[in-house]
Copies of this chain bind each other. A is one copy, B any other.
Amino acid sequence: MSKAPQMTDDRFYLRRGPFSLGEIAELAKVDLAVGAPRDLLIRGIAPLESATADDLSVFCDVRHADAFAATHAGAVVTSARLGERPHNGNWLLTARDPRYAFAVIGLMFYPRCAVEPGVQAGAHVDPSAAVGEGCRIDPGAVIGAHVRLGAHCHIAANAVIGAGVEIGEGSVVAANATISHALLGANVRIGSGTVIGGEGFGVVPGPTGLICSAQLGRVIIGDNVRVGGNCTIDRGAVGDTVIGANTMLDNLVQIAHNVRIGRNCVFAGQAGVAGSVTIGDGVMVGGAVSISDHLVVGSNARIAGKSGVARDIADGETVGGYPAVPIRQWHRQTTSLARLGQKPEA
């Protein structure tokens, strides 16, 4: 079992290319160093440490300066400033945002390619389902009654799509995911094991103990949304849970019923949002953050990792801590607390 491939592992990835430095520079809109051979062929992408003369790598974080100094990569995408660091004379492609440029180049070599279309043996597709052209349905996938799949969707092995669900064109539902009571846009990607449309948690105390109220809403997911693995997004109680276009969720994220999230938000791993929270556009939520129910988080707010948010957050505000406070206040609190902790007990 080879454990240190120089490029990507051919067992898992289908590489396009090669591409010339000139093609790459043009497509990713990066600047090629003066004198660089525009015809030089680049065959793959690799980390600085293992890249060879055929590979392109990236240097976008000063912590990797040593690896940059020693890399054998044929070419390296970096910024003008980082490119001044010592290196082996590799050809540099400079970009204002090297991470973005490298992401674009990565999708050039490894496009999210359409898998071979077709309903595989062992898939269970209800006769009333409408499956768009070019869809791929893997073995063990279950497509319920009246489901509508747009063109070129991929429903992976053992995923379950409940009755009535609609999924837009080009979307991917990974293995063992479960989707019900939901309308998904185009180019949505749902990770393995994720559950969308589960019953919201509406526990009501009654005279003879707790009861769960009926959960009668839906989940509405916009175009280009990305949900990681083993997340849970509950359907609304009355009304909908909404995830805006281009919002990205990492793994193990919990979104409760009737939450409304805007566009271009980022939720890192294990974040959780309680019921009926409203979140604007462009919000960045750190890992393991918890947001209490019925709050409002303004657009472009940022929440530091592991914070516990217990009050509304204004547009553009950055908060941290448990309970979360403005980030500078949190840093001062932390410093003060550390000082208390350093004094030996009297």
Contact = CB atoms under 8 A, between A and B. Distances in A.
Contacts of A325: 338, 341
Interface size class of A (residues with CB under 8 A): 35 or more
Interface stretch (A18-26, A30-38, A285-293): A285-293
A63 B294 contact: yes
A78 interface: no
A34 B7 CA distance: 64
Given A144-B157, A191-B198, 19 more contacts: A46-B239, A61-B294, A97-B204, A97-B206, A100-B206, A103-B212, A104-B206, A138-B142, A158-B160, A160-B176, A174-B178, A176-B176, A176-B178, A176-B193, A195-B251, A230-B231, A232-B252, A333-B338, A336-B337
Nearest to A217: B8
A254 B252 contact: yes
A81 interface: no
25 contacts: A12-B163, A47-B238, A103-B212, A107-B214, A140-B140, A142-B157, A201-B250, A201-B269, A210-B246, A228-B232, A230-B231, A232-B269, A252-B252, A269-B274, A270-B290, A274-B287, A329-B341, A330-B341, A332-B341, A332-B344, A333-B337, A333-B341, A336-B340, A336-B343, A337-B337
Contact of A205 (B9, B100, B269): B100
Interface in A8-56: 8-9, 11-13, 45-47, 49-50
Interface of A: 1, 3, 8-9, 11-13, 45-47, 49-50, 57-58, 61, 63, 97, 99-100, 102-104, 106-107, 109-110, 112, 121-122, 124, 138-140, 142, 144, 146, 156-158, 160, 162-164, 166, 174-178, 180-181, 183, 189, 191-195, 198-199, 201-206, 209-214, 216-218, 220, 224, 226, 228-232, 234, 238-240, 246, 248, 250-252, 254, 256, 263-264, 266, 268-270, 272, 274, 287-288, 290, 292, 294, 305-306, 308, 310, 322-323, 325, 329-330, 332-338, 340-345
A218 B9 contact: yes
Given A193-B178, A268-B274, A269-B254, A214 B103 contact: yes
A250 B272 CA distance: 12
A136 to B, nearest CB: 13
A217 B192 CA distance: 17
A195 to B, nearest CB: 4
A309 to B, nearest CB: 9
A50 B216 CA distance: 14
